[in-house]
């Protein structure tokens, strides 16, 4: 007789039952469902097993039973720690909310020397100084910026082309640093620029103040220049030259690039990725056009549908996975943002894909004219005549008035995905977001009608695609785990 | 393998009870401290006044009247200046408790335990052995302050409850610059008050190693042979981390844990990401492992791909993970970044095959028990 008990001794008695913890499920493919728990952990499960499980008929001997218990879909007599662990993960996921607004966008001018037909901010042509932000507005906006309780403050200069009002950028940076000496927050600066106007003086200032540069690169020369016209038709050349100058002056990692997908991009995703590789970037953000500004007016936004864009995205992601297979470390940014939510308890708080929505909480935009908007997209919408998300005006409204304005609180509350019809039932809700600006713009409603929402269909398909890739390839699983935990 | 304990012939004795004493090779010490030293005799000199004399010679000496005289052999050749030993002049019982030159000094605090692990290397005994704790207090006072690290193990040291915390305070005061590695099953810390007391030691360099053998509570409890262990241990870890204590999670890999090793690591990464270190450990063929060898043994070579996957997962989540108690030739090259030479120096051995191996100096080798009873069939020298 052994003095050791067999494993059976430690199992729950056969007669006992299990209790379901909060869970949601959704079909993945014809055989499988995806089950997600409260903290966003998922399990791919066969349909039959799911049905047994939900009917409280799943045997503790079933291999899936052990998975379901370990991932906190059920509790039984053997362990009751799951609710504590779920609570811990949920707290972690939402912990960023108490930080409040970290990203402060300063639209220092709406002027631009480019004339991109897909411009989503409705730029003005260069010679109209009335589209510049004034120093008074800038200082008033800084007052509000420093009222944010967030310990991390990022000031991003937006346009138009912000370098057209560089003197104001200098004023804001110097003044922000001066004020920060008292409060000691982590203060960072970003200039979103097409780099056409970069020069030694600007670079020198950026180096002195550790300013990060974010630029636009749509792909190879022909594509980029077709997408982004400017006098001389040399946007690509200017951008590439600018990237080199920034790297030399500020450092390798001090410049990042964003791309916008146009109709002309759709058939050349590999070439676009290759261009990023050739320029020494190790990540790309495959971004569809958003339905704002000239993108709507010129119909660039309607030039392709969600299905076509998803084909582009999937092809691009497959290509990037192949690159990693060959030892080239390269990340797709949107994917890694979603993977953080899929595989960790961290929500990166990406403004367009987070719930509660990122408007006001994650970011706020101070427009050139002093009006304050709940996000970058909100001010884009305003240029189209819809001021729904205008929260107030610098120098006229107080911090309290702006951030407790019904114009912010109502869309935040209405769109909170966990309580929105259909989103509430959706297993992908933990990975998704509330985008009240998009849904208001397209459907005239903060919540929107999910069955016809392109935001919904695009993201749902991406979630399915990413889970499918991970479940069918252990290399992808490991790669995605690294992306989920990457710093970007 | 070094013989750290045994029985020595007693040539003469003056002391009635056993005692701890520091070994010296010097016969020139001031008389006032000779009563606190055991002289490791190498040649004739002034040998009077030492607490004990350890000699290879049979002959008795006139100046040895005040000392306990023990006969030693080649087995004790490892003894060196500054080592601390326990001597019992009545029975001749001898134990080396601290070796100055070793980086692996571990103090056994008790052989009692509330677990009964299938692979326990130190099978628990129910008898009262609280003298071990008392001795530990004394030993800590003798250990030199420049000691880098010491280990505390059992049995389950936390069974002493507040007395264990008292020992930690004593260590903090006596050895303020010495790191402390504690081994515990963590269950005692499910009591938040106890976790708080532990944290009040406020030691800047103390880590507690706690085992999680599976993400499946049933399997974990089967391995440790105790119902309720899983929840207690997880709660213990959560409480320790709430008080910002360093915690290492230890997973022993064997036939009963290998099938869920990757899932267990995923559970750790998803739920206990704040753990400071994860150790994935090979089996030591000693204690209960020997009678349970059939249930536990799996050749590490057979699970090397699983080990690679587990390590890649932990690395992916940015956790610090180490592979302990393995041989370099039994793991995949992609896992080498996590490989550590971990086997205590006094237990390390190598095989015949290892003589020509070019990576031997990077390899942790074998437990002497593995060499004797069971080791991988795929040990192969690197060319």
What is the C-alpha separation between A296 and A83, in angstroms, rounded?
A: 47
Nearest-5° Cα angle at A453, A448 to A457:
140
B173 and B319 both lie in a single domain: yes
Contact between residue B186 and residue B236 where contact means Cβ atoms under 8 Å apart: yes
To the nearest whole angstrom, how far is the Cα of B233 from the nearest Cα of chain A?
Answer: 10
A81:B219 CB<8 A: no
Domain coverage including residue B67: 5-98
Q: Report the phi/psi class of residue A392: left, alpha or beta, with left for phi > 0 and alpha for psi in -120 to 50.
A: left
Task: Give strand ranges (E) for A81-196.
Answer: 103-107, 152-158, 186-192
What is the C-alpha separation between B258 and A50, in angstroms, rounded?
A: 26
A485:B221 CB<8 A: no
B13 and B149 both lie in a single domain: no
Which residues in chain B are closer than 8 Å to A81, comparing Cβ atoms? 217, 230-231, 234-235
Q: What 8-state DSSP symbol labels residue A134? A: P
Q: Is B116 on the interface with A (CB under 8 A)?
A: yes
Query: For residue A412, how many C-alpha atoms fall within 13 Å in the half-sphere facing its CB?
Result: 19
To the nearest whole angstrom, how far is the Cα of A476 from the nearest Cα of chain B?
Answer: 12
B231:A80 CB<8 A: yes
B123 and B22 both lie in a single domain: no
Structure tokens at A94: 């939402």
Q: Is A485 on the interface with B (CB under 8 A)?
A: yes
Look at chain B and report how many structural domains it folds into: 2
For chain B, helix (H) and strand (E) counts, in that order, are 10, 17
Domain boundaries, chain A: 13-94, 100-406, 415-479
Q: Is A7 on the interface with B (CB under 8 A)?
A: yes
Among candidates A107, A183, A190, A185, which has minimal Cα distance to A155? Answer: A190
Which pLDDT does position B204 carry in this prediction?
Answer: 92
Question: B66-84: per-residue pLDDT in tens?
Answer: 889 998 888 888 999 999 9
Which pLDDT does position A244 carry in this prediction?
Answer: 97
Report the C-alpha dihedral over residues A235, A241, A246, A247, rounded to 10 degrees: 130
Tell me the average pLDDT across A27-41: 95
Answer whether residue B357 is part of any domain: no
Which residues in chain A are closer than 8 Å to B316, comparing Cβ atoms? 478, 481-482, 484-485
Q: Is A9 on the interface with B (CB under 8 A)?
A: yes
To the nearest whole angstrom, how far is the Cα of A79 from the nearest Cα of chain B?
Answer: 6
B83 and B113 both lie in a single domain: no
Task: Give strand ranges (E) for B161-285.
Answer: 179-183, 206-211, 246-252, 277-281
A488 has pLDDT over 60: no
Strand pairing category for B10-12 and B68-71: antiparallel
Contact between residue B174 and residue B140 where contact means Cβ atoms under 8 Å apart: yes
A1 has pLDDT over 60: no
B174 has pLDDT over 80: yes
Q: Which of B323, B340, B357 is the last residue of a domain?
A: B340
A485:B270 CB<8 A: no
B9 and B117 both lie in a single domain: no
Q: Higher model confidence: residue B236 or residue B126?
A: B236
B195 and B269 both lie in a single domain: yes
- Selected for mutation to probe chain B from A4, A11, A83, A484 (highest B CB count within 10 Å) is A4
B92 and B114 both lie in a single domain: no
Tell me the average pLDDT across B134-151: 95
Which residues in chain B are closer than 8 Å to A79, comparing Cβ atoms? 217, 230-231
Structure tokens at B61: 């000496």
B59 and B113 both lie in a single domain: no
Structure tokens at A256: 């990042």
Answer whether residue B158 is part of any domain: yes
Question: B291-318: per-residue pLDDT in tens?
Answer: 999 999 999 999 999 999 999 999 999 9
Q: Is A481 on the interface with B (CB under 8 A)?
A: yes
Q: Is A57 on the interface with B (CB under 8 A)?
A: no
Pick the residue from chain A with its C-alpha nearest to B292. Answer: A4
CA distances (Å), origin A79, targets A71, A157, A270, B8, B268 = 12, 52, 49, 51, 16
- Selected for mutation to probe chain B from A78, A344, A480, A483 (highest B CB count within 10 Å) is A78
Pick the residue from chain B with its C-alpha nearest to A485. Answer: B317
Domain at B82, CATH number? 3.50.30.10
Q: Among residues of chain A, what percentage have pLDDT more than 90?
A: 88
Contact between residue B215 and residue B267 where contact means Cβ atoms under 8 Å apart: yes
Instruction: Give residues 270 to 289 of B whose Cβ lies within 8 Å of A.
Output: 270-271, 273
Answer whether residue B358 is part of any domain: no
- Selected for mutation to probe chain B from A72, A79, A89 (highest B CB count within 10 Å) is A79
CA distances (Å), origin B108, targets A161, B1, B100, B141, B151 = 70, 18, 17, 16, 8
Q: State phi, psi for A461 to the nearest 5 degrees.
A: -65, -35
Question: B198-233: per-residue pLDDT in tens?
Answer: 999 999 999 999 999 999 999 999 999 999 999 999
B231:A478 CB<8 A: no
Tell me the average pLDDT across A362-387: 95
Contact between residue B264 and residue B254 where contact means Cβ atoms under 8 Å apart: no
Answer whether residue B362 is part of any domain: no
Contact between residue B13 and residue B90 where contact means Cβ atoms under 8 Å apart: yes
Nearby residues of A1 by Cβ (< 8 Å), 6 or more positions away: none
To the nearest whole angstrom, how far is the Cα of B287 from the nearest Cα of chain A?
Answer: 14
B74 and B165 both lie in a single domain: no
B218:A482 CB<8 A: no
Buried b (16+ CB within 10 A) or exposed e, A284-308: bbbbbbbbbbbbbeeebbebbebee
Q: Is A62 on the interface with B (CB under 8 A)?
A: no
Which pLDDT does position B277 carry in this prediction?
Answer: 97
A127 has pLDDT over 70: no
B267:A70 CB<8 A: yes
Among candidates B320, B317, B99, which has minimal Cα distance to B207? Answer: B320
Q: pLDDT band at A126, cuts 50/70/90?
A: low
Buried b (16+ CB within 10 A) or exposed e, A341-352: bbbbbbbbbbbb
Task: Give strand ranges (E) for A159-249.
Answer: 186-192, 211-216
A78:B218 CB<8 A: yes
A345:B273 CB<8 A: yes
Q: Which of A296-305, A467-476, B307-316 has the lowest mean pLDDT?
A: A296-305
Contact between residue B198 and residue B165 where contact means Cβ atoms under 8 Å apart: yes
Q: What is the pTM (predicted TM-score) of this model?
A: 0.93
B112 and B94 both lie in a single domain: no
Tell me the average pLDDT across A177-189: 96
B317:A485 CB<8 A: yes
To the nearest whole angstrom, how far is the Cα of B222 from the nearest Cα of chain A?
Answer: 5
Which residues in chain A are closer than 8 Å to B235, comparing Cβ atoms? 81, 84
Nearest to B270 among A41, A474, A482 (CB): A41
Nearby residues of B258 by Cβ (< 8 Å), 6 or more positions away: B298, B303, B306
CA distances (Å), origin B247, targets A83, A444, B274, B323 = 22, 52, 9, 17
To the nearest whole angstrom, how far is the Cα of A10 from the nearest Cα of chain B?
Answer: 6
Tell me the average pLDDT across A168-174: 98
Contact between residue B221 and residue B185 where contact means Cβ atoms under 8 Å apart: no
Paired residues of B23 in beta bridges: B38
Q: Is A474 on the interface with B (CB under 8 A)?
A: yes
Structure tokens at A267: 């058939």
Q: Is B320 on the interface with A (CB under 8 A)?
A: no
Q: Which helix (H) or strand (E) holds B40?
A: strand B37-40
What is the C-alpha separation between A301 and A292, in angstroms, rounded?
A: 8
Instruction: Give residues 333 to 362 of B whose Cβ lies within 8 Å of A.
Output: none
Give the domain A100-406 fold: TIM Barrel (3.20.20)
Question: A320-342: per-residue pLDDT in tens?
Answer: 999 999 999 999 999 999 999 99
Q: Is A344 on the interface with B (CB under 8 A)?
A: yes
B257 and B118 both lie in a single domain: yes
Structure tokens at A74: 């059920």
Tell me the average pLDDT across B172-190: 96
- Selected for mutation to probe chain A from B189, B218, B257 (highest A CB count within 10 Å) is B218
Q: Is A5 on the interface with B (CB under 8 A)?
A: yes
Nearest to A81 among B235, B309, B317 (CB): B235
Which residues in chain A are closer than 8 Å to B317, comparing Cβ atoms? 344, 481, 485
- Selected for mutation to probe chain B from A1, A9, A10, A39 (highest B CB count within 10 Å) is A10
What string of DSSP letters covers A229-244? --TTS-HHHHHHHHHH
Among candidates B46, B41, B1, B10, which has minimal Cα distance to B23? Answer: B41
Q: Which of A374-383, A406-415, B252-261, B338-347 has the lowest mean pLDDT?
A: B338-347
Answer whether residue B253 is part of any domain: yes
Q: Among residues of chain A, what percentage have pLDDT more than 70?
A: 99
Structure tokens at B316: 């992916």
A81:B218 CB<8 A: no
Q: What 8-state DSSP symbol labels residue A21? A: P
Which residues in chain A are closer than 8 Å to B216, comparing Cβ atoms? 66, 69-70
CA distances (Å), origin A276, targets A216, A221, A229, A282, B130 = 11, 12, 20, 7, 67
Q: Is B143 on the interface with A (CB under 8 A)?
A: no
ipTM: 0.92
Q: State phi, psi for B58 to the nearest 5 degrees.
A: -80, -35
Domain at B198, CATH number? 3.20.20.70
CA distances (Å), origin B65, targets A83, A269, B51 = 70, 92, 10
Q: Is A84 on the interface with B (CB under 8 A)?
A: yes
**B126 exposure class (CB count in 10 Å sphere: 0-12, 13-18, 19+):** exposed
Instruction: Give residues 59 to 88 of B whose Cβ lies within 8 Å of A.
Output: none
To the nearest whole angstrom, how far is the Cα of A470 from the nearest Cα of chain B?
Answer: 13
B292 and B257 both lie in a single domain: yes
Question: B349-376: per-residue pLDDT in tens?
Answer: 888 888 899 988 888 888 888 888 888 9
**B259 exposure class (CB count in 10 Å sphere: 0-12, 13-18, 19+):** middle
Q: Which helix (H) or strand (E) holds B349?
A: strand B348-349
Which residues in chain B are closer than 8 Å to A340, comparing Cβ atoms? none
Q: Is B317 on the interface with A (CB under 8 A)?
A: yes
A89:B270 CB<8 A: yes
What is the C-alpha separation between B152 and B142, in angstroms, rounded?
A: 16
Question: A59-69: per-residue pLDDT in tens?
Answer: 988 999 999 99
B230:A4 CB<8 A: no
Buried b (16+ CB within 10 A) or exposed e, A92-120: bbeebeeeebbbbbbbbbbbbbbebbbbb
Which residues in chain A are closer than 8 Å to B221, comparing Cβ atoms? 10, 78
């Amino acid at each position: 007789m052994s003095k050791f008990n067999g494993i059976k001794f430690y199992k729950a008695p056969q007669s006992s039952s299990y209790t379901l913890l909060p869970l949601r499920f959704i079909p993945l493919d014809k055989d499988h469902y995806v089950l997600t728990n409260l903290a966003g952990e998922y399990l791919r499960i066969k349909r039959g097993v799911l049905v047994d499980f939900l009917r409280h008929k799943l045997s503790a001997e079933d291999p899936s039973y052990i998975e379901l218990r370990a991932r906190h879909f059920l509790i039984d007599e053997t362990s009751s720690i799951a609710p504590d662990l779920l609570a811990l993960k949920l707290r972690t996921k939402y912990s960023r909310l108490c930080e409040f607004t970290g990203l402060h966008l300063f639209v220092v001018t709406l002027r631009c020397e480019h004339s991109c037909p897909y411009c989503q901010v409705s730029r003005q042509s260069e010679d109209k100084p009335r589209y510049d932000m004034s120093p008074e507005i800038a200082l008033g906006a800084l007052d509000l910026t420093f009222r944010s309780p967030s310990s991390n403050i990022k000031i991003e200069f937006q346009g138009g082309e912000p370098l057209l009002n560089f003197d104001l950028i200098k004023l804001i940076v110097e003044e922000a640093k001066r004020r920060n000496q008292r409060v000691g927050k982590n203060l960072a600066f970003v200039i979103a620029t097409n780099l056409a106007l970069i020069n030694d003086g600007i670079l020198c200032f950026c180096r002195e103040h550790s300013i990060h540069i974010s630029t636009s690169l749509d792909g190879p020369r022909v594509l980029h220049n077709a997408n982004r016209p400017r006098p001389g038709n040399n946007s690509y050349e200017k951008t590439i030259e600018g990237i080199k100058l920034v790297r030399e002056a500020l450092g390798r990692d001090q410049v990042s690039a964003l791309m916008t997908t146009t109709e002309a991009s759709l058939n050349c995703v590999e070439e676009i990725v290759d261009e990023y590789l050739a320029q020494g970037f190790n990540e790309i953000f495959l971004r569809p056009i958003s339905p704002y500004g000239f993108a709507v007016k010129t119909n660039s936004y309607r030039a392709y549908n969600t299905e076509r864009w998803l084909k582009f995205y999937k092809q691009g992601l497959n290509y990037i996975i192949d690159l990693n297979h060959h030892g080239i470390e390269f990340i797709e940014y949107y994917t890694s943002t979603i993977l953080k939510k899929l595989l960790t308890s961290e929500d990166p708080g990406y403004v367009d894909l987070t719930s509660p929505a990122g408007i006001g909480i994650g970011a706020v935009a101070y427009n050139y004219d002093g009006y304050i908007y709940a996000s970058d997209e909100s001010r884009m919408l305003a240029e189209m005549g819809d001021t729904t998300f205008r929260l107030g005006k610098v120098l006229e409204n107080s911090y309290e008035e702006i951030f407790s304005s019904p114009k912010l609180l109502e869309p935040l509350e209405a769109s909170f995905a966990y309580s929105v019809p259909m989103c509430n039932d959706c297993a992908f809700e933990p990975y998704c977001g509330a985008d009240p600006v998009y849904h208001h713009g397209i459907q005239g409603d903060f919540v929107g009608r999910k069955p016809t929402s392109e935001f919904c269909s695009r993201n749902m398909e991406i979630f399915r695609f990413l889970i499918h890739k991970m479940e069918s390839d252990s290399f992808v699983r490991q790669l995605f785990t690294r992306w989920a935990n990457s710093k970007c | 393998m070094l013989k750290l304990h045994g029985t020595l012939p007693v040539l003469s004795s003056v002391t009635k009870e056993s005692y701890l004493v520091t070994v010296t090779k010097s016969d020139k010490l001031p008389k006032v401290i000779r009563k606190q030293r055991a002289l490791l005799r190498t040649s004739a000199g002034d040998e009077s006044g030492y607490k004990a004399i350890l000699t290879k010679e049979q002959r008795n000496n006139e100046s040895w009247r005040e000392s306990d005289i023990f006969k030693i052999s080649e087995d004790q050749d490892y003894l060196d200046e500054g080592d601390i030993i326990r001597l019992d002049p009545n029975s001749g019982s001898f134990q080396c408790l601290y070796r100055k030159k070793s980086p692996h000094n571990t103090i056994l605090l008790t052989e009692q335990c509330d677990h009964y692990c299938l692979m326990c290397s130190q099978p628990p005994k129910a008898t009262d052995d609280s003298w071990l704790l008392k001795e530990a207090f004394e030993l800590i006072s003798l250990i030199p302050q420049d000691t880098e690290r010491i280990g505390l193990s059992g049995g389950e040291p936390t069974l002493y409850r507040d007395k264990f915390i008292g020992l930690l305070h004593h260590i903090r005061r006596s050895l303020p610059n010495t790191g402390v590695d504690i081994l515990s099953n963590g269950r005692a810390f499910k009591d938040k008050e106890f976790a708080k007391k532990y944290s009040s030691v406020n030691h800047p360099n103390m880590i507690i190693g706690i085992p999680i053998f599976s993400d499946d509570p049933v399997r974990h409890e089967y391995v440790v042979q105790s119902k309720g262990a899983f929840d207690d241990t997880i709660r213990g870890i959560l409480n320790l981390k709430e008080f910002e204590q360093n915690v290492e999670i230890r997973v022993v890999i064997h036939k009963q844990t290998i099938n869920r090793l990757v899932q267990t690591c995923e559970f750790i990464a998803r739920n206990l990401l704040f753990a400071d270190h994860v150790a994935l450990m090979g089996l030591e063929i000693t204690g209960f492992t020997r009678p349970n060898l059939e249930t536990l043994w799996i050749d590490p070579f057979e699970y090397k791909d699983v080990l690679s996957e587990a390590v890649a997962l932990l690395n992916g989540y940015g956790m610090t993970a180490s592979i302990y108690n393995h041989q370099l030739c039994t793991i995949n090259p992609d896992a080498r970044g996590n490989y550590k030479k971990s086997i205590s120096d006094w237990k390390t051995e190598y095989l015949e095959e290892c003589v020509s191996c070019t990576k031997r100096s990077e390899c942790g080798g074998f437990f002497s028990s593995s060499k004797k009873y069971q080791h991988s069939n795929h040990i192969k020298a690197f060319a």
